[in-house]
Amino acid sequence: MARKQKTPRWLEAARRKGPEAPVGPRADWLARALGRAGVLPRAGAEQAIRDGRVEVDGRVEKEPFAPVGAGTRVRVDGVEHALTRRVWVLMFHKPAGPVVHGSDPEGVGTVFERLRAVLPPELQGFEWYAVGRLDRDTTGLLLFTNDERLVRHATEPRTHLPKRYVARVEGLPSEAALARLREGVLLEDGPTRPAEAVLRSPGVVVLTLTEGRHHQVKRMLAAVGHPVLALHREGVGRVALDVAEGAFRRLTDAEVTQGLGFPSGEDLPE
């Protein structure tokens, strides 16, 4: 028996609002729009809405999933805010320890906490989404964005966005081991796509992948007899890590469109 698909809450809210609900590529729902525009992060926006602190077109709105559009007038605590849709991307140098999750049961902390600790006030109001994941012990380039569409673009398997890793491994990989990595390795979840693999120095392999399976770098290197001792990501697309550990910077528009291959313009599909 086919499972009935649940209607998204934003769509339910739009249907309740009736024919005057905003439609089209720039339509959004209230809490997410506030996070995208840098007014309030998602959790704070939802709380402010439920507390009656948010007005939409002159009326208090207590539904976080209420539909809004480009021309919707929104006020928070009496101050009007433009629901801009500009895509921002941050480069962050992840240290070893924090996890790429909303919470850490081990108490070390999350990358979101580490990022917010170094953000200036003008960037604190955005909802920041991690673009992919890095393991707790993996360091290096982690991207964040205020727009989920970029997350989907960068992590979609069909995009084949290259990601470059530097791995310190056990032993000294031979040319035959590197050739196996270049051709693709058979893992328990199927063969990998061909990868770029070079020896940077004794015991250090640079591996560039165009897919992103769970623990893929570690599993590929273990499969050719060289378990990973330390792993660092130094590039995504044509964007290379260039900030100190624990620091961040904004990507330029050119880095977003050319370096990550993300389409420019505001009216992108959701």
The highest-level CATH class for domain 9-81 is alpha beta
Pick the catalytic residue from 51, 77, 135, 253: 135
Determine phi and psi for 87, rounding to 5 degrees: -85, 120
φ, ψ for residue 131, nearest 5 deg: -95, 95
Q: In this model, does residue 52 exceed pLDDT 60?
A: yes
- CA–CA separation, 103 and 108 (whole Å): 9
pLDDT digits (tens, 9 = 90+) for 114-164: 999 999 999 999 999 999 999 999 999 999 999 999 999 999 888 899 999
d(CA 34, CA 30): 6
Whole-angstrom distance, CA of residue 76 vs CA of residue 154 = 32
| Active-site residue, 135 included | yes
Closest to 150 measured CA to CA, from 71, 68, 236? 236
Backbone region of residue 97 per phi and psi (left: phi > 0; alpha: psi in -120 to 50; beta: other values): left
3 state DSSP class of 266: coil
Examine domains 9-81 and 89-157+241-259 and report if their fold is the same. no
Q: What fold characterizes domain 89-157+241-259?
A: Alpha-Beta Plaits (3.30.70)
Q: Is 200 exposed, middle or buried (0-12, 13-18, 19+ CB in 10 A)?
A: exposed
pLDDT tens readout for residues 245-262: 999 999 999 999 999 999
Enumerate the domain spans of the chain. 9-81, 89-157+241-259, 162-236
CATH architecture group of domain 162-236:
2-Layer Sandwich (3.30)
